[in-house]
Amino acid sequence: MATYFSKITGWGMYVPSNVVTNHDLEKFLDTSDEWIVTRTGIRERRIVSEGETTVSMSVAASRKALEKAGIQPEDLDLIILATSTPDYLVPPASSLVQDELGAKCGAFTLVAGCSGFVYGLATAAQFVQTGVYKHVLVIGAEVISAGIDWEDRNTAVLFGDGAGAVVVSRTTQPGGLLSLKLGSDGSGWDALIVPALGAKNYPSLENIARKEHKLKMNGRAVFKFASRILSDATMEVVSEAGLTMDDIDLLIPHQANQRIIDLALRRLKFPAEKTVVNLDRYGNTSAASVPLAMIEAIEDGRLKENDKVVMIAFGAGLTYAAVVWEFQPFETGPADEEEAILVTNWPVNSAFQRKLQEMRVAAWKMKVQARTKASEASMAIMLPLYSFRKGLRKRMQNGNGKKPDGQ
């Protein structure tokens, strides 16, 4: 019986042409380009224009992915659309995409916040590796701008719109999904929330007046979760694949904040040159962020055939998802159906060498854990100091600790 692997055979992206820079935001928000760049790394984002929706962008990205994979919509066995901003709450946006593409397969919408695309990738791989399906289309697409309160500087400066799609195909060429880690910490459910756009709280006039139908975020809580999970889940998923970061060619993290990425890189001791960042141009596009970064990396030649890549995302839920993905040769053809030689059967992969590799991975994990503990301990000391200094500065500005009225 053939052993099947997953392979990304096609990819395509779509971003709106409308560019909104930090300077554009300065015109109507109490913010500055300097604050946004230093606190997040974002310089501009794309925002939809009339007629552009999650479905239309998904269809445009998917058509490119199908063309690259060399297949027709009728060849698809399943469509997974990851989004938190569907065109309608009902019907599922995935069915609209299926219809517009002219596909004849099942389709579902996957809601897992910004982690949705990576959840979808891990899910698609299960369908093809088991031999059940041959081609699964996975899309990450968002029109976050529709859910933003444009008077709330906490969220308005962060997000952008876009879509990325990949075709995950069945192959006998070893590679594809090497390991996965899916997670959810629902105790943080209210850190990133649209309070009144569901069956519990409808957008009543009162709720709309309170802007409860718009995105609310506790930025610090998400930051704390994200900076921990980015390094922890990367470490877990890489060691699960029997590898260390030295074996990883490229890290594609969720594009939320440059500071979150930098912190994880320090803990993992992983070079910035091997990390894909495009948040300066697109901001945080939620479920579209990882596919956009991945597709740009392929098209720029940074992501190459045979590369081992970590893709990792985190977001509302709070959720996270990570995979190690080994890219097979990009071209598809008869080789995809040839009988595979299983890596585990290779003579070089003797029991002794496997044991040695396990020890190498365990030693590396201990080092990353120690660095994470040290960096958290220093943050625990520095944060109260920082707040104290900030308070002191504010009091000085108000006249040496005296209230403005001199009391």
Which positions are catalytic? 114, 254, 284
Contact status, residue 84 vs residue 78, Cβ threshold 8 Å: no
Residue among 228, 198, 245 at smallest CA distance from 363: 245
Residue among 49, 47, 233, 41 at smallest CA distance from 150: 47
Q: What is the DSSP letter of 97?
A: H
Instruction: Give 175 or 283: the residue with its C-beta nearer to ligand UT7.
Output: 283
Shortest distance in whole angstroms from residue 219 CB to ligand UT7: 3
In one letter, which amino acid is 289?
S
Shortest distance in whole angstroms from residue 323 CB to ligand UT7: 18
Structure tokens at 221: 């809580």
How many angstroms separate the CA atoms of 233 and 110, rounded? 21
Shortest distance in whole angstroms from residue 223 CB to ligand UT7: 4
How many angstroms separate the CA atoms of 168 and 132, rounded? 13
Residue 207, class by beta-carbon neighbours within 10 Å (0-12 exposed, 13-18 middle, 19+ buried)?
middle
Shortest distance in whole angstroms from residue 61 CB to ligand UT7: 20
Instruction: Give 156 or 178: the residue with its C-beta nearer to ligand UT7.
Output: 156
Instruction: Give 58 or 84: the residue with its C-beta nearer to ligand UT7.
Output: 84
Instruction: Give 180 or 222: the residue with its C-beta nearer to ligand UT7.
Output: 222
Instruction: Give 65 or 222: the residue with its C-beta nearer to ligand UT7.
Output: 222
Instruction: Give 125 or 157: the residue with its C-beta nearer to ligand UT7.
Output: 157
Shortest distance in whole angstroms from residue 229 CB to ligand UT7: 11
Instruction: Give 153 or 281: the residue with its C-beta nearer to ligand UT7.
Output: 153
Shortest distance in whole angstroms from residue 394 CB to ligand UT7: 8
Binding site for ligand UT7 (CB under 6 A): 31, 35, 39-40, 114, 153-154, 157, 192, 217, 219-220, 222-223, 226, 256-257, 284, 315
**Closest residue (Cβ) to ligand UT7?**
219
